[in-house]
């Protein structure tokens, strides 16, 4: 098979690594890829949101399957464009991708299908939104409706902060068209977990739970990032509860989309808040999480390409997911200053030493390769991921590996996994 993988982050390196292991794969192309993906296939300089060029390339290279890493190409309709020329795509069409592309769309579908979620209202007018907030108790959550690279959500602690947020999103348009509408919802109390499922349009198969660390600072302080680390499983959502939770938060969505003629094929990701009243959905993503993808794929023992083909063909009932019983933990090494301004072009040292351990993988996110050396090119640079018999052992191995890697102005959190370890 010839496969095209779309994207350039740590998630895409993990996908490239796992796809390349499949005996079904003859050629793997990654667009645009990064310094790490080059080990597993051929990088091609086409941006992930350039739908016409991606379709043209897929036709020229006689691609059998396109695997989409990030959300933007899906929201822009890459699957629909590929379907028109007869090429299979792992990922939903533009309609179903609105589950991530529009917070208002997702909330309305949750409401319609009785999926537990926070109480909410949707606004397109700044003055109406402000009037509504004046009568609410704080904190409240304010979300830009569209895609804002994981940064369009603010938990406002008081009226002043809420007003400033609404002004920035709706009046100053700091997120552009993504802020044309806002969703205002109650702030849920509890602990977050990530819950992902393979979907074939009708059936679902659940991956084990994981937990992301969104804030830049230790003890979950500072601004939100794309994710500073993740681990699996999350003790707060044990394996024995997966079926029950999936029946509440994944199945109703899949069944509804099939009913209305937009079957969802790919990965559906529910970001959950585990509250005193039970799990509630914070948001849906229509692709693998980053960095959750890295620890999850290290635990998945199946041929990933076989699973993806079963999703595309509507044959997921023929697949049994095989999950490594060990724990995995991923530490993101970032450039100092991220998620704000950060330096680039720093040489990365120590990778060869780390990669000698078969239970440690260094997934590249923001890197480039030149003359056999790797350099930083993004805010999140590496995702150092380790397997261990316990979560504590996985953490120790990951941080031992982190300690062997060096680049100027590097930054990482030291407390990834601590909440899970405390629970155990």
Judged against a pLDDT cut of 80, whether residue 134 lies above it is answered with: yes
Q: What is the DSSP string of 9-32?
A: SHHHHHHHHHHHT-TT-SEEEEEE
pLDDT value at residue 101: 95
Cis preceding-peptide flag for 139 (omega within 30 of 0): yes
Radius of gyration of the chain (CA): 21
Contacts of 368 (CB under 8 A, 6+ apart): 34, 35, 374, 375, 377
pLDDT at 274: 96
Q: What is the pLDDT of residue 15?
A: 98
**pLDDT tens-digit readout, 163-195:** 999 999 999 999 999 999 999 999 999 999 999
Confidence band, pLDDT 50/70/90 cuts, at residue 76: very high
pLDDT at 151: 73
361 pLDDT more than 90: yes
Average pLDDT over residues 241-256: 97
Can you give the pLDDT at residue 146? 92
Which of helix, strand or coil describes residue 342? coil
Give the residue-averaged pLDDT of 105-127: 96
For residue 23, give every residue at least 6 positions away whose Cβ sits within 8 Å of its Cβ, in sequence order, or none.
303
What is the CB neighbour count within 10 angstroms for residue 62?
9
Mean pLDDT of 27-39: 97
pLDDT digits (tens, 9 = 90+) for 312-353: 999 999 999 999 999 999 999 999 999 999 999 999 999 999
- In sequence order, what are the beta bridge partners of 244? none
Q: Residue 143: pLDDT above 80?
A: yes
- With 0-12 CB in 10 A as exposed, 13-18 as middle and 19+ as buried, what is 134? exposed
Q: What is the predicted pLDDT for the residue at 376?
A: 98
Domains of the chain, start order: 2-94 (3.40.50.20), 119-186 (3.30.1490.20), 191-318 (3.30.470.20), 327-423 (3.90.600.10)
Asked if 329 contacts 213 with a C-beta cutoff of 8 angstroms, the reply is no
CA distance to 57, 168, 303, per residue, from 2 (Å): 12, 45, 15
Token look-up 């606004």 returns 123
Which band of pLDDT confidence, cut at 50, 70 and 90, is reported for residue 355?
A: confident
Mean residue pLDDT of the chain comes to 96
For residue 84, pLDDT over 80 is answered with: yes
Rounded average pLDDT over 8-19: 98
pTM of the model: 0.96
CA 62/CA 4 separation, integer angstroms: 10
Helix, strand, coil shares, percent, the chain, to 5: 35, 30, 35
Q: For 199-239, what is each residue's pLDDT tens digit?
A: 999 999 999 999 999 999 999 999 889 899 999 999 999 99
Predicted pLDDT at 55: 98
Q: How much of the chain, in percent, has pLDDT values that exceed 90?
A: 96
Nearest of 272, 403, 393 to residue 329 by alpha carbon: 393
Contact 395, 421 (CB under 8 A): yes
Compute the distance between CA of residue 265 and CA of residue 90 in angstroms, rounded to an integer. Answer: 7
User: What is the rounded distance in angstroms from the CA atom of residue 116 to the CA atom of residue 108?
Assistant: 12
**Whole-number pLDDT of residue 224:** 85
Neighbours of 367 (CB within 10 A): 25
Residue 150, pLDDT > 90, answer: no
The pLDDT-based confidence of 53 (bands split at 50, 70, 90) is very high
């Amino acid at each position: 098979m010839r496969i095209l993988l779309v994207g350039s982050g740590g998630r895409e390196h993990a996908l490239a690594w796992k796809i390349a292991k499949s005996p079904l794969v003859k050629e793997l192309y990654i667009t645009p890829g990064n310094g790490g993906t080059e080990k597993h296939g051929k990088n091609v300089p086409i941006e992930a949101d350039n739908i016409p060029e991606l379709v043209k390339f897929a036709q020229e290279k006689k691609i059998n399957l396109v695997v989409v890493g990030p959300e933007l190409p899906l929201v822009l309709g890459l699957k629909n464009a590929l379907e028109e020329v007869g090429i299979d795509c792992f990922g939903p069409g533009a309609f179903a991708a609105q589950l991530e592309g529009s917070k208002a769309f997702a909330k309305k579908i949750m409401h319609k299908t009785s999926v537990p979620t926070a109480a909410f209202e949707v606004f397109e007018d700044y003055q109406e939104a402000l009037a509504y907030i004046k009568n609410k108790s704080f904190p409240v959550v304010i979300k830009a409706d569209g895609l804002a690279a994981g940064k369009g959500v603010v938990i406002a602690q008081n009226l002043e902060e809420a007003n400033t947020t609404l002004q920035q999103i709706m009046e100053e348009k700091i997120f552009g068209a993504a802020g044309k509408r806002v969703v205002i919802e109650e702030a849920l109390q509890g602990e977050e977990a990530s819950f992902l499922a393979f979907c074939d349009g009708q059936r679902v198969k659940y991956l084990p739970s994981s937990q992301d660390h969104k804030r830049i600072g230790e003890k979950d302080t500072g601004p939100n990032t794309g994710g500073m680390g993740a681990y699996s499983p999350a003790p707060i959502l044990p394996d024995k509860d997966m079926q029950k939770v999936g029946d509440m938060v994944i199945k109703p969505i899949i069944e509804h989309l099939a009913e209305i003629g937009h079957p969802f094929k790919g990965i559906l990701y529910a970001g959950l808040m585990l509250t005193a009243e039970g799990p509630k959905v914070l948001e849906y993503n229509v692709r693998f999480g980053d960095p959750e993808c890295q620890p999850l794929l290290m635990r998945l023992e199946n041929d990933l390409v076989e699973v993806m083909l079963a999703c595309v063909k509507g044959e997921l009932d023929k697949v049994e997911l095989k999950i490594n019983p060990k724990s995995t933990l991923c530490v993101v090494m970032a450039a100092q200053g991220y998620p704000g301004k950060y330096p680039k072009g720093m040489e990365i040292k120590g990778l060869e030493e780390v990669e000698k351990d078969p239970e440690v993988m260094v997934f590249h996110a923001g890197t480039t390769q030149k003359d056999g050396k790797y350099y930083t090119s993004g805010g999140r640079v590496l995702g150092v991921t380790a397997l261990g018999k316990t979560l504590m052992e996985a953490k120790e191995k990951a941080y031992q590996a982190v300690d062997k890697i060096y680049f100027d102005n590097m930054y990482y959190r030291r407390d990834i996994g601590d909440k899970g370890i405390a629970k155990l």
